[in-house]
Amino acid sequence: MSYTAWVFTIGTELVQGRVVNTNAAYIGRRLTLLGFNVIGVITLVDDVETVSRYLSNVLIHERPRVVVTTGGLGPTYDDRTLEAVAKALSRRLVLNEEAFKTVKEKYDKKGLPLTPERVKMAYLPEGAEPIPNPVGTAPGSWIEHGNTIIVSLPGVPSEMMSMWEGWVEPRLKSIGPRLHIAEITIKIVGVPEASLAPFIEKAVKKFARVYIKSHPKGEELGKPVVELYIMASDESSEKAISIAEDVAKFIVDSLHPYPASVERLETRVS
């Protein structure tokens, strides 16, 4: 089974650069640490036709295991993400009884009336399961469509993260690839990134299930500084860290012709 994932962050304010898209970084990181292969992040304006078209293309041509959307679940006129999801799946947008009950209870406690804008948040694609929102009001949506799971969460980071960590991630963990991720970050001083490139390429070809990325960080005392990120995955946490360590040693040993200094910055296993 393919364990690929796509992330859709919806919001005109994101596209226009008025709001920094922290949700994309958070979701992409969490999916990666769960062992999913995140293929892409798409950021789109609040437009039903646009979101539906791009989502349909990903579902048809990529057939991912998971799609996560954030944004567009609120009460305002431009919060129409679930309408777009329903359209992409050729499903109706219907009043979900469980979601309606939750929304009603929250406004009843505040002594506020159920206006059409508030009821709107209880409309989910047909067959969706509402995701509880312990921080805000709008519930999320979990839909299984063929072999793909579509998770839709609010755009407010505090709400999205609470729903992800408390409800979504435990579910994805139980159905995911069950991989452990080992990460090593190394600081290399004295070797230009271009000189590191052939050693990185050799390591990628030599070791399976690894991702290596170099990040130039400028200079220290006139010498080039590069941070090297190494990620390895395996069903065994011990094997994952062993692979990552072997990759790090292979690259560091390759630097012997250069007057390089190497510092281990971080090692972690998930």
Tokens for 70? 């954030």
The DSSP letter of residue 165 is I
Q: What is the pLDDT at residue 199?
A: 96
pLDDT in tens, 116-157: 999 999 999 999 999 999 999 999 999 999 999 999 999 999
* Average pLDDT of span 187-200: 96
Residue pair 176/38 in contact (Cβ under 8 Å)? The answer is no
Q: Is residue 1 pLDDT above 80, yes or no?
A: no
Q: What is the pLDDT at residue 192?
A: 94
In angstroms, the CA 25 to CA 156 distance is 14
Q: What is the pLDDT at residue 221?
A: 82
Q: Is residue 177 pLDDT above 80, yes or no?
A: yes
* Average pLDDT of span 97-125: 97
pLDDT in tens, 20-41: 999 999 999 999 999 999 999 9
pLDDT in tens, 221-269: 889 999 999 999 999 999 999 999 999 999 999 998 888 899 999 999 9
pLDDT in tens, 47-97: 999 999 999 999 999 999 999 999 999 999 999 999 999 999 999 999 999
Neighbours of 48 (CB within 10 A): 18
- The one-letter amino acid at 22: T
In angstroms, the CA 122 to CA 129 distance is 11
Fold of 180-269: Alpha-Beta Plaits (3.30.70)
Q: What is the pLDDT at residue 159?
A: 98
Neighbours of 138 (CB within 10 A): 29
Residue pair 244/184 in contact (Cβ under 8 Å)? The answer is yes
Domain 4-175 has CATH 2.40.30.10: no
In degrees, rounded to 5, the angle at the alpha carbon of residue 143 between the alpha carbons of residues 146 and 122 is 150
Total-model pTM: 0.93
User: Could you tell me which residues come within 8 angstroms of residue 254 by beta carbon, excluding any fewer than 6 positions away?
Assistant: 199, 202
For the chain, the domains span: 4-175, 180-269
In degrees, rounded to 5, the angle at the alpha carbon of residue 196 between the alpha carbons of residues 255 and 193 is 130
Q: Comparing 4-175 with 180-269, is the CATH topology the same?
A: no
* Average pLDDT of span 181-202: 96
The DSSP letter of residue 132 is P
Helix boundaries (H) for the chain: 12-15, 22-33, 48-61, 81-88, 97-110, 116-119, 157-163, 169-175, 193-206, 237-253
Neighbours of 41 (CB within 10 A): 17
- Reported residue count of the chain is 270
Q: Is residue 11 pLDDT above 80, yes or no?
A: yes
Q: What is the pLDDT at residue 163?
A: 98
* Average pLDDT of span 157-176: 97
